[in-house]
Structure 1
C-alpha cells in the first residue's frame, strides 16, 4: 500500500467496472466504501491524505462519495 494512487484513464475505468460486473459508473458512500475496500474510515482518510487512496468527491456541504471505478481500480493495483 505504499504507492501513490494514480487516477485511471476512462478506458481503465470501463475495464475495471466490467471486470466486476458493473454496468455503469456510480458514486459510493462511506458504508459501501468500507465493504468494498475492507479498510476503516480513519485508515482510508490517512491513505487519502497521503495520496495513496482515491480522493472523495464532494456531494454537498455534509456529504461525499467515491467513484466506484476508483475504488475497484485501487483494489486491483494493490
Structure 2
C-alpha cells in the first residue's frame, strides 16, 4: 500500500511549483531568465528552487505573494492622498 493520497480528479491539484514559462504566462509579459535572476539576487523576486543542473522552478505561493505585493504597491501609489503629497 502506498502512502500517497489517491486523487480522483487531477484538475483539482494545485501546482506547488511554476516554471519560467509559467511565470511569463501568469504575469502576462515576457521576462528574460536574466531579468528573473537579477530580480532574485536583488531580493525583488522570490528565489528559485534548483531541481537539477538545468532545471529550476519557483514556489507558486511565493510568486503569487510577489504579484499581490506589486498590486498593493500600485494601489498605495494610486490613492489621491499619496499621489499629490509632497515630501521634503
TM-score tier, shorter chain, comes to 0.5 to 0.7
State the Cα RMSD in Å: 1.9
Gaps of 5+ in 1: 1-21
Paired with 1:63 and 1:75, the residues of 2 have a C-alpha distance of 23
TM-score, with length taken from structure 2:
0.56
TM-score, with length taken from structure 1:
0.62
Q: 2:35 aligns with which of 19, 43, 55?
A: 43
Gaps of 5+ in 2: 1-11, 71-88
Number of residue pairs the alignment of both structures matches = 57
If you compute each CA radius of gyration, which structure gives the higher value, 1 or 2? 2
Larger relative contact order, structure 1 or 2 (CA cutoff 8 Å, min sep 6):
1
